[in-house]
A and B are shown apart, each in its own frame.
Chain A
Amino acid sequence: MQLRHSRADAEKRLEGETNTMDADTILSKLNEVFRDELDDESISLSNATMAKDIEGWDSLAHVRLLVATEVAFGIRFGSAEIGGLENVGALVALIAKKLGA
């Protein structure tokens, strides 16, 4: 089964870039994750984007988006961290914090 994403591969891809990733780069990369997971090339995230703004971003999709984000950035969210995310900007900030940027 190919469901499980390869964290090791993701971490390898990120080698050398994590410490220099700024918020704009994170947002751009996150945009690709959302487009891929939600199958929607028209998605254009901003820091103000909320779940209600994106068709298909329901609670189940939220889980898939976060796990795909973990893989893409080579990070792992704690359960307490993901409950209170207000918008994409908060997610970008959390990713930046995880990356130590």
Chain B
Amino acid sequence: MSFEQARLDPYPNLKHVVSNLLEVWPQHSDYCEARFRDDPPGFMQRSNELAGLVIKLSGADLASYCGDYKWMCEEFLKEEFFFRREGRYRLSTFKEAFDDVYNKPEYMGRYVRGILISQLIWTPHARAFDFFRTHFLTGNAAGNNHLEIGPGHGLFLYFALQDPKMAHLEAWDVSQSSIAATKHALSALGVNRQIDLIEQDVLTSPPKPAFFDSAIISEVLEHLERPDLALQTLRQALRPGGRLFINVPINSPAPDHIYLWTTIEEFVGFVKAQGFEIENQQFLPVTGHSLERAIKKKLSISCILIARRPIVEA
């Protein structure tokens, strides 16, 4: 089995990224076959839009981004080995992750570039964007105030600001260098709308309680020692009835993942315990596997919840 790139002819951005990737990493062909095997045309078209953004962000360095993606996958495999042997993530504190990853600029640079490519190539990442666009943003009302925690490469922010119902956009990060990277990314994407990028810790009380109508925290909670506190901050930041898009991978070892949930039920219960109701949910298994098999074998599953701050709280 190998990937027939002709399948991507109707999706030139997607084809451009994938062909660059397979040039750098021909052995990834089977994986790409599994990734794009069953995608319906609408999703492929939206993935093509996402690929266009990835191309803009990578500029003239797409091949080097693909090389960093390959490197990142190899780093992840080391973590997978530890996880399968020991039944836990290798790191358990933020300080360990800081010392091992966040405080190493070269390592972080490669990691961030690799993650960008994964947004397109890993099924759960690509589908998370799609769910955000098709199920979360469509639920907003006019005059919407929106908050993102840890905006990173800026792609979720980009899609949020395409929504004409957005009145105010704000994003928080604890790191000035991350905020600078997001600003740079938004500029590369051609964004010229006002977005408040603020140095603010999601573990502390929100400056504007009950202000936001919508919020997103994607692939952040598993990096925290106290994700419960982060969710409680977000509940306070949302107005009653406000909606929160949560994306967390379970059983998903990575060099900087420190908080492990092992079942879908455990994670959903965790979110509910922080005072949220669940409006919608989607559980996305690792590329090439069914959800049933991923549950049975405790493979990585991205748990995507659209949660809501109750209008009347207990």
A: residues with CB less than 8 A from B are 1, 3-4, 37, 39, 52, 56, 58-60, 63-64, 66-67, 70, 79
Contacts and interface: CB of A to CB of B under 8 A. Distances in A.
Contacts of A3: 83-84, 87, 251, 262, 298
A52 B26 CA distance: 13
A60 B85 contact: no
A1 B262 CA distance: 7
Nearest to B292: A39
8 contacts: A3-B251, A3-B298, A58-B31, A59-B73, A59-B77, A63-B84, A64-B297, A79-B78
A63 B87 contact: no
A60 B77 CA distance: 7
Nearest to A71: B85
B107 interface: no
Interface in B12-54: 30-31, 34
Contact of B299 (A1, A60, A70): A60
A11 to B, nearest CB: 15
Contacts of A64: 84, 297
Given A59-B73, A59-B77, A67-B81, A4 B86 contact: yes
Contact of A60 (B80, B87, B293): B80
B227 interface: no
Interface string B273-302: 000000000000010100001001111000
B30 A58 contact: yes
B80 A63 contact: yes
Contact of A67 (B73, B78, B85, B296): B85
Interface of B: 1, 30-31, 34, 73, 77-78, 80-81, 83-87, 251, 262, 286, 288, 293, 296-299
A84 B36 CA distance: 29
A66 B288 CA distance: 19
A2 to B, nearest CB: 8
Contacts of A63: 77, 80-81, 84
Nearest to B288: A58
A64 B299 CA distance: 10
Contacts of B1: 52
The 9 closest A-B pairs by CB, nearest first: A4-B87, A3-B87, A67-B84, A63-B80, A1-B262, A63-B81, A3-B298, A67-B85, A1-B87
A3 B296 CA distance: 11
Contacts of A52: 1, 30
A39 B293 contact: yes
